[in-house]
Amino acid sequence: MSVTAKNFYRRSLPSTCVDFSSEEGKRLFKESLLEGNANIYFKLAAQFRTQDEPAYCGLSTLGNDGIERLGGGSRSNLEGTVEILSRNNARLLCSIRTREKVVFFRTGINLPQFTCLASCNRLNADVRYGKEGEDFLRMLREDVIASVRNDAEVIVASYDRSQLEQTGTGHFSPLAAFHSGTDKVLIMDVARFKYPPHWVTLTQLQQAMCSLDPSTKKTRGYVKLSLRKDSCPLVAFAIKANLGCNDADVSCLSIISVEHISCTSGTLRKEMRLRFYI
């Protein structure tokens, strides 16, 4: 007797989405490229990192090499800022607010937590919460076009998959191209085991961003990320880079009890208490 296990590997895209590798998807990308609306794609795609676990979409998005290299940076001069996150060592930042534990590994992160982690990793994080109406749609379109036309800013969408007729709920992924003729945007889905990169209309994406997140009681939305050039990496990342520690060494040291970093109203109170356990 054979048993078919329930899984979510390689779901078929709904008709509302256009597979990036399909003939139509290729045409949309070619035309976007000719319009100059796909420049950020190459920085994201060069070493695109996808998630290892179902709840890691936010962490994997932040850990992408393309986001690490915003503004023309390289791994060497960014000093490994986000590498620990992308290596599944996010436990180093398990307390990002006083007396509050963030459960990354079972439930993932929400939009405020994503924004806070981005700010902790030398990124300007300008968040926009989803709204109905033409004003938000116009702002989203303008921000997407500004992002895809350069390589110094990435837009990360926080949206509800079910609103795109996909399986699942909350998800994070970066946006890589825009096709003006159809008003479609390319979502670089970080869950490669589930869906390939695909095109959706901005109206569809807006609807998916307007879904309420039960953990915050707010809508989802998007974040504009750019490198904060006048900042230094967190001390854990600097130690890792400057002392040549590998991921295992850093994990074993269990560096950091971040007891006094708060992310209230998008600002960081730079009070940190470090503890080393050897």
Q: What is the pLDDT of residues 60-100, one digit of tens each?
A: 667 654 455 554 444 433 333 334 444 433 444 433 443 33
**Sequence-separated (6 or more) residues with CB below 8 Å from residue 237:** 79, 80, 81, 82, 83, 84, 121
Percent of the chain as helix, strand, coil, to the nearest 5: 35, 15, 45
Amino acid at 4: T
The secondary structure element, H or E, covering residue 177 is: strand 170-179
> Of the residues 189, 198, 210, 263, which is catalytic?
189
> Of the residues 57, 120, 210, 245, which is catalytic?
57
Quick: pLDDT tens for 115-151: 877 777 778 889 999 999 999 999 999 999 999 999 8
> Distance between CA 46 and CA 65 in Å, rounded?
8
Is 249 designated active site? Answer: no
> Of the residues 116, 151, 171, 179, which is catalytic?
171
Q: Of 114, 78, 95, whose CA–CA distance to 238 is shortest?
A: 78
φ/ψ (deg, to 5) at 169:
-130, -110
Quick: pLDDT tens for 97-115: 433 344 555 567 788 888 8
Average pLDDT in the chain: 71
Contact 175, 197 (CB under 8 A): no
Is 210 designated active site? Answer: no
Is 17 designated active site? Answer: no
pTM for the model stands at 0.71
CATH T-level assignment (fold) for domain 18-66+79-227: Cathepsin B; Chain A (3.90.70)
